[in-house]
Structure 1
Amino acid sequence: MSDEEQTPGTEQTPSATAGGPQPEEIRFFGTTWVDHTGHYALRRVGVAVGSLAAAVAACFVLRFAYEGLEIADIGGFVNMLVVVMFAVCSAIAFRKTWEGFTRRPTDPRREESLRSLKAIGFIGSLLAYFFRCFTEAPGEQLRRTEYETSRAQYEKRRNARTGNPAARKKPKRK
């Protein structure tokens, strides 16, 4: 693939073109997180601004929904339940999204069962993306740890196989 054919965010880094394990792409960043090239800082700012803007827009939508409940005059208890539900779901979504940036889920079935809860609390997930962009690309720490581990294992295996096996001394038989 030539430089002109590559899509933004999938620039090949020097370590990615060498043999061995390839870095995993991150949404909006491709493989630029490996060596912070390809407008990496600008992408982080863009993701932060975009996630914050989406969170603010979502808050306005929820406000209009809440006003619809008030117009329907269904009662203060239901209004309170809706507010508490969105607050709790947003807090859980924030925590689970934040944890997902640093480690893989240990129980995929549990993550699957929390999917609807995270969808309701999508504002929490958007805020987690916003705050994570201040330090790194969301998920960069996890991917970097995995990539460096796989590179070290690859180098260890590669160095262990150097030389011509036929030229090695054969052990003496007793």
Structure 2
Amino acid sequence: MSEENGTPATPRGPRPEPIRFFGTTWVDHDGGYGARRAAVAAGSLLAAAAACLVLRLAYEGLQIAAAGTLVSLLIVVMFAVCSALAFGHTWGAFGKRPDPERQASLRGLLAIGFIGSLLAYFVRSLGEAPGEKLHREEYETARAAYEKRSSRRTGNPSRKRRRS
């Protein structure tokens, strides 16, 4: 709060971008950041385990339907390859902004390999909030640029002496 007029004081400069499930608690690691990281890790691991159970039931359905060994093998290989690719793509997206066009073209692969994405989310949340490193780098770069811009603006520009 501003002491002069009682209005809320707004912070100057760039604002941090919120991260899903964490908001802006990643900046100072406050507001239950540790508990949120633990909850996200547990939730993503639990979701991956539940997804594996569902896939196991689907595989057993293929066995009951006697779809054949080749079909069963292709299904297992498809989910394994798509999960590995989804893990790699999700892991890479934590370090740099993904290209929107590439993201759109990989949507089907990521949907099939959702277990890989969940596992990448789990592994990353053990060390930090997923995407925190990328957001921190961008935020610190924006803060440094803001500080540089605002430190140059001293004095009244209309009183600036002109060179002849």
Select 1:157's aligned residue among 129, 145, 149. Answer: 149
Count residues in correspondence: 156
Counterparts of 1:166 and 1:68, CA distance in 2? 79
Counterparts of 2:158 and 2:71, CA distance in 1? 79
Amino-acid identity (%): 65
Query: Within 5 A, what are the aligned runs for 1:114-133?
Result: 114-133=106-125
By how many angstroms is 1:164 displaced? 1.1
1:143 aligns with 2:135: yes
By how many angstroms is 1:167 displaced? 2.7
Residue 101 (structure 1) aligns with: 94
Counterparts of 2:127 and 2:30, CA distance in 1? 16
Q: Deviations over 1:68-118 (max 9, x none)?
A: 00000010000000000000000011001001111012x321211101100
The root-mean-square deviation of aligned C-alpha atoms, in Å, is 1.2
One-letter identity of the residue aligned with 1:88: V
Q: TM-score w.r.t. structure 1 length?
A: 0.87
Counterparts of 1:162 and 1:118, CA distance in 2? 51
- Which runs of no fewer than 5 residues in structure 1 stay unpaired? 1-16
Query: Within 5 A, what are the aligned runs for 1:72-111?
Result: 72-105=65-98, 107-111=99-103
Residue 20 (structure 1) aligns with: 13
Select 1:59's aligned residue among 52, 56, 77. Answer: 52
Counterparts of 2:77 and 2:56, CA distance in 1? 14
By how many angstroms is 1:133 displaced? 0.9
DSSP-derived class of the 1:134 partner:
helix
Counterparts of 1:40 and 1:34, CA distance in 2? 10
Counterparts of 2:53 and 2:74, CA distance in 1? 18
Counterparts of 2:107 and 2:143, CA distance in 1? 33
Counterparts of 1:163 and 1:134, CA distance in 2? 49
By how many angstroms is 1:169 displaced? 2.3
Q: TM-score w.r.t. structure 2 length?
A: 0.92
